[in-house]
């Protein structure tokens, strides 16, 4: 709950956000409240974090966790040696969650391989994968019934390069800043929102980050300066692009109900 509150406080009072287009009824009420009371990313409809089966085998070796927002549904993957676990989340409206998902692997050579998935719980699937060295893509087709979904893809760089100390260096670098300018866009799949901007100190910035006091897992480095990690207890997945000083240049945060995109400057 504390971590969720931190993420909700990301934008300080005075930030303005405007809704474009026609949103669904729940989202309209939510975003109207955002404009009036300085913005929250928590949907009126709560997240439905569906537990996976306890029969899932433990991953072998290092793992990488990635996620994407496909309209009104979030999908995530836990990729490990020879296997993938896929999960889906949708807003909790009190009705049963019925989601169908199919997956293919696209190898770095461009070859497409259908994946034989089995269910591991509600909105959970698992299956074997022969990861190729380099950039693989999981091509997903998501059918969520009353929730808008569709096709999406999840990039999986293989082999995994663990980066256990990098997030701590990011924490130190960001906390040392006297000013951080942030431009943020939030969407939950119901409408389009213009970016909002804010300035805060490094200390204030860290106080809003749900990873600041621990809980992050599976921190991996992709390429030279991209950090991936997750907060599995909350269903949050982070992609951070860093500069040479370990400051965040940009980041994407996929949560069960939202996609946040942020860009940072250091005056």
Q: Say if residue 20's pLDDT is above 70.
A: no
* Phi and psi at residue 70, to the nearest 5°: -115, 90
Looking at per-residue confidence, does 264 or 47 come out higher? 264
Tell me the per-residue pLDDT of 182-238, one tens digit each, with 9 for 90 and over. 999 998 877 767 899 999 999 999 999 999 988 999 999 999 999 999 999 999 999
Q: How confident is the prediction for the chain on average, in pLDDT?
A: 84
Alpha carbon of residue 265 to chain centroid: 22
The answer as to whether 92 is a domain residue is yes
CA 11 vs CA 51, 84, 183: distances in Å: 30, 35, 10
Tell me the per-residue pLDDT of 215-224, one tens digit each, with 9 for 90 and over. 999 999 999 9
Domain total of the chain = 2
Q: Are residues 188 and 143 in the same domain?
A: no
Q: Are residues 204 and 166 in the same domain?
A: yes
Query: The domain spanning residue 239 has which CATH number?
Result: 2.50.20
Examine the fold and report which residue of 122, 140, 158 is the final residue of a domain before the chain moves on.
Answer: 158
Let me know: does 218 contact 64? Beta carbons within 8 Å: yes
What does the pLDDT read at residue 4?
52
The answer as to whether 54 is a domain residue is no
What does the pLDDT read at residue 59?
77
The answer as to whether 131 is a domain residue is yes
- CA dist., res. 5 & res. 78, Å (int): 26
Q: Are residues 242 and 185 in the same domain?
A: yes
Pairing label, strands 226-231, 217-222: antiparallel
The answer as to whether 35 is a domain residue is yes
The answer as to whether 166 is a domain residue is yes
- CA dist., res. 100 & res. 203, Å (int): 43
What is the extent of the structural domain holding 124?
Answer: 64-158
CA 233 vs CA 4, 50, 55, 61, 118: distances in Å: 11, 11, 18, 21, 23
């Amino acid at each position: 709950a504390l971590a969720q509150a931190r993420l909700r406080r990301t934008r300080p009072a005075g930030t303005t956000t405007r809704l474009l287009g026609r949103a669904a009824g729940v989202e309209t009420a939510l975003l109207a409240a955002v404009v009036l009371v300085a913005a929250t990313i928590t949907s009126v409809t709560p997240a439905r974090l569906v537990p996976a089966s306890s029969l899932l085998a433990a991953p072998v070796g290092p793992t990488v966790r990635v996620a994407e927002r496909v309209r009104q549904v979030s999908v995530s993957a836990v990729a490990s040696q020879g296997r993938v676990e896929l999960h889906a989340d949708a807003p909790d409206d009190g009705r049963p969650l019925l989601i169908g998902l199919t997956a293919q692997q696209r190898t770095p050579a461009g070859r497409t391989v259908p994946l034989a998935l089995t269910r591991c719980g509600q909105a959970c699937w698992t299956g074997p994968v022969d990861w190729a060295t380099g950039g693989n893509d999981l091509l997903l087709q998501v059918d969520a019934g009353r929730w808008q979904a569709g096709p999406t893809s999840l990039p999986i760089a293989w082999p995994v390069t663990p980066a256990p100390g990098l997030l701590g260096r990011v924490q130190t670098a960001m906390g040392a800043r006297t000013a951080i300018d942030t431009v943020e866009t939030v969407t939950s799949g119901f409408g389009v929102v213009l970016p909002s901007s804010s300035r805060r100190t490094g200390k204030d910035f860290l106080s809003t980050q749900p990873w600041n006091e621990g809980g992050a897992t599976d921190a991996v480095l992709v390429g030279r300066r991209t950090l991936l990690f997750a907060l599995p207890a909350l269903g949050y997945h982070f992609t951070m692009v860093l500069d040479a000083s370990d400051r965040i240049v940009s980041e994407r945060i996929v949560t069960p109900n939202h996609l946040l995109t942020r860009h940072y400057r250091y005056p």
